[in-house]
Amino acid sequence: MDKNKSSGLRKRILIITIIPILLLGFLIACFSYFQFNKTMEHEVQRNLKNVAMATVRAYDHIYPGDYGVAENEDGSYRVTKGGVDLTDKVEYIDELHNDSGIDITLFYLDIRILTTIRNERGNRISGTVVNKMVVDDIFGSGEGHFYNNMHVNGTNYYAYYAPLINSDGSVVGMMFAGKPTAVVKQDVMRSAIPIIGIAIAMMIIVSFIGTSFSKELAQAIGKEKNFLGAIAGGNLRAQLDASIIARKDEIGEMGRFTVHVQKFIRDMIERDPLTKLYTRRIGELKIQYAQQSALENNSPYCVAMCDIDFFKKFNDTYGHDCGDQVLRETAAIFNRVLFREGFAVRWGGEEFIIIYEEMNMDQAYKALSKLREEVINHVLEYGEERLNITMTFGLVEGDSRNINDIVKVADELLYYGKTHGRNQIVRGDEVDIEAEEKSE
């Protein structure tokens, strides 16, 4: 009898333990999903706004001047910017769409002029804005607006519309940046379901451990909950308690998986805030991908390390605001000239890494020479000053070596160029660094 009573008591304790744990697991799962969804929506809104505004600024930079309408000889009309016909000028928005998965549309008044959105036949859509509310909002306020359920070409979008404003202050159009709602929801579900599934599984497993472990379990779940809540609240740099990561059980596994998800999200959204180029961390990943792709496809690639000559002089003479402007405008040149040729990474300070995929040394040298000439010919206006920029480059052809070793060689070539006159490109197949060092 005593044994049966003891067994029944243990069952009742387990039942009492299971119910709160399962309930807690359910609440954590729901809280994590809805908070994660809210955070992702906020991030999407911020990213769409950044893309829309950056695209507006990019067109202002590429085609300086006001938007307008010009008549063709046949009586038809075309939209211009700074006198340049914008018809079919889709290279920039196509590249941006390919990199980010975000659709871009430029409207003049409420008429689509350029767009990345295509119909079921693969043709770019045309026509006017269907939703009159959008037109009233943008043209009425002159400010950007975000919409979380915009219907475009049969697809619901998270969308941000930024006004296009001419120099006289008039709103003459809109820049649309949007991402299909289904894609965003799918990303949320793809990230949230494993976490929710592991959380529920953990609740069931832990419920059988017994009352002696319930206190420890509750504390562990509390730490996980706080960590997930921090992520869901937008704190992508939250730290998970080390004791959770060190665990060898399912709780530790869930914690490590969540940390991995956190790091992945943070890495995907991090760009250098000043230059908008890839940060060094993301750059290293992209260099590795470029190397892996080159090796798998038996194709060449090249790596260039470069920096701005006498950059310290800009800061010391004109102030750090001038130095920041130098970095921004240099990065803008990179983005423009490297279009469909390669990509740039801000490596640190005034140093940059440039990757040329599917290019051998001669091809990369030619492309890099073009970039160098663009930098030299660029005039930076800072206040009443008109300043010129030069850069030195170290160019090396990539291979299967460790990425750090390849970058090191490029850096040594850069240093050689800095000590032998600056404002030049030093090729790794023309300068033997080891021999130069021995001769010195």
Burial class of residue 36 in the structure, from the number of CB atoms within 10 Å of its CB (0-12 exposed, 13-18 middle, 19+ buried): buried
Dist. CA 387–CA 257, nearest whole Å: 50
| pLDDT greater at residue 244 or residue 433 | 244
User: What pLDDT does residue 267 have?
Assistant: 57
Q: Residue 239: which H helix or E strand, with range?
A: none
Least confident of 72-86, 284-298, 305-319, 378-392: 72-86
Q: What is the mean pLDDT of residues 286-290?
A: 86
Distances (CA, A) of 391 to 165, 279, 322, 350, 377: 35, 20, 17, 10, 12
Task: Output phi, psi for 123, to 5 deg.
Answer: -90, 145
Residue 29 pLDDT > 50: yes
In the chain, the percentage of residues whose pLDDT exceeds 70 is 82
Dist. CA 234–CA 302, nearest whole Å: 38
Quick one: tokens of 307? 């920096």
Dist. CA 37–CA 20, nearest whole Å: 25
User: What pLDDT does residue 439 have?
Assistant: 55
User: What pLDDT does residue 236 have?
Assistant: 66
Dist. CA 331–CA 327, nearest whole Å: 6
pLDDT digits (tens, 9 = 90+) for 215-242: 566 667 677 778 888 777 767 668 888 8
User: What pLDDT does residue 360 have?
Assistant: 93
Domain boundaries, the chain: 13-39+185-269, 62-184, 280-439
Q: Residue 306: which H helix or E strand, with range?
A: strand 301-308
pLDDT digits (tens, 9 = 90+) for 379-409: 999 988 899 999 999 999 988 888 889 999 9
pLDDT digits (tens, 9 = 90+) for 238-248: 888 888 888 88
| Averaged pLDDT score across all residues of the chain | 84
Residue 302 pLDDT > 90: yes
Q: What is the mean pLDDT of residues 95-107?
A: 92
DSSP states along 274-303? TT-SBPHHHHHHHHHHHHHHHHHHT--EEE
pLDDT digits (tens, 9 = 90+) for 255-274: 888 887 777 766 566 688 89
User: What pLDDT does residue 206 have?
Assistant: 58
Strand 391-397 versus strand 425-427 pairing type = parallel
So which residues are the catalytic ones?
A: 350
The helix/strand/coil state of 436 is helix
Quick one: tokens of 42? 């906020």
Longest dimension (CA), the chain: 104
**Which of 16-30, 67-81, 107-121, 188-202: highest mean pLDDT?**
107-121
Distances (CA, A) of 406 to 33, 36, 306: 43, 39, 14
Q: Residue 234: which H helix or E strand, with range?
A: none
Dihedral sign for Cα 427, 432, 433, 437, please.
negative
Q: At what angle do helices 181-207 and 250-269 cross, to 10 degrees?
A: 160
**Rg for the chain (alpha carbons), in Å?**
28
CATH class of the domain whose range is 280-439: alpha beta
Looking at CATH, the fold of the domain delimited by 62-184 is given as Beta-Lactamase (3.30.450)
Residue 5 pLDDT > 70: no
Residue 15: CB atoms within 10 A of its CB come to 10
Which pLDDT band, with edges at 50, 70 and 90, does 166 fall under? very high
Q: H helices of 167-232, where?
A: 181-207, 211-232
Which pLDDT band, with edges at 50, 70 and 90, does 163 fall under? very high
Q: Is this structure's pTM higher than 0.75?
A: no
Burial class of residue 276 in the structure, from the number of CB atoms within 10 Å of its CB (0-12 exposed, 13-18 middle, 19+ buried): middle
Dist. CA 217–CA 247, nearest whole Å: 12
Dist. CA 132–CA 286, nearest whole Å: 42
Which pLDDT band, with edges at 50, 70 and 90, does 342 fall under? confident
Quick one: tokens of 387? 């300043």
Residue that is written with structure tokens 């992508």 in the block: 236
Least confident of 69-73, 103-107, 363-367, 426-430: 69-73
Return the C-alpha torsion angle 263, 266, 198, 9, nearest 10.
90
